[in-house]
Copies of this chain bind each other. A is one copy, B any other.
Amino acid sequence: MRLTFLGTGAAGGVPFYGCTCPACERARGDSRYARRPCSALLESGETRILIDAGLMNLHERFPPGTLTAIVLTHYHPDHVQGLFHLRWGVGDTIPVMGPPDSAGCADLYRNPGLLRFQVLRKFEPLNIGPFKLTPLPLIHSKPTFGYAIEDTGGERIAYLTDTVGLPSRTKCFLREWRPVDLVIDCTHPPQAPSPGNHNDWDRALATIDEIGSARAWMTHLDHSLDAWLLEHRPTLPQGVRIATDNTDVTLAG
A residues near B, CB below 8 A?
11-13, 16-19, 37, 56-57, 59, 64, 76-78, 81, 84-86, 88-92, 105-107, 113-114
Q: In the complex, what distance in Å separates the CA atom of A78 from the CA atom of B64?
A: 20
Contact assessment for A85 and B16 in the assembled complex, using a CB-CB cutoff below 8 Å: no
Select which of B19, B90, B106, B107 is within 8 A of A17 by beta carbon: B90
Q: Are A88 and B11 in contact (CB under 8 A)?
A: yes
Residues of B within 8 A of A37 (CB): 85
A91-B18 contact, Cβ under 8 Å, with A56-B85, A106-B106? yes
A19 and B90: CB pair below 8 A?
yes
Distance, CA A231 to CA B116, complexed state (A): 33
Residues of B within 8 A of A81 (CB): 56, 81, 84-85
Instruction: Let me know if B84 and A77 touch, CB within 8 A.
Output: yes
Q: Which 7 A-B pairs have the closest CB atoms?
A: A12-B88, A17-B89, A18-B91, A56-B56, A18-B64, A77-B84, A18-B89
**A77, B81: Cα distance in complex, Å:** 9
Q: Measured between C-beta atoms, what is the minimum distance from A180 to chain B in Å?
A: 33
Cβ contacts A to B, 12 pairs, < 8 Å: A11-B88, A13-B85, A17-B64, A17-B91, A18-B90, A18-B114, A56-B81, A56-B85, A76-B107, A77-B106, A77-B107, A105-B106
How far apart sit A57 and B18, CA to CA, in the bound complex (Å)?
A: 14
Complex CA gap A17/B94 in Å reads: 12
Residues of B within 8 A of A18 (CB): 64, 89-92, 114
CA distance A16 to B105 in the complex (A): 22
Closest Cβ–Cβ distance, residue A46 to chain B (whole Å): 19
Residue of B nearest to A60 (CB): B17
Residue in A13, A90, A91, A92 with the greatest tally of chain B CB atoms within 10 Å: A90
Assembled-state Cα–Cα distance A113/B107 (Å): 22
Tell me if A17 and B56 are in contact (CB < 8 A).
no
Q: How far is the CB of A14 from chain B (nearest CB, A)?
A: 11
* Complex Cα spacing A107 to B101, Å: 14
Cβ-neighbour of A85 out of B12, B89, B106 (below 8 A)? B12
Measured CB to CB, the closest approach of chain B to A62, in angstroms, equals 9
A105 to chain B: which residues have CB within 8 Å? 106
**Chain B residues closer than 8 Å to A92, beta-carbon distance:** 18
Knowing that A19-B91, A56-B56 are A-B contacts, what are 11 other residue pairs whose CB atoms are under 8 Å apart, sorted by A's residue number? A12-B113, A16-B89, A17-B85, A17-B89, A18-B90, A18-B91, A19-B89, A56-B85, A77-B84, A77-B106, A78-B84
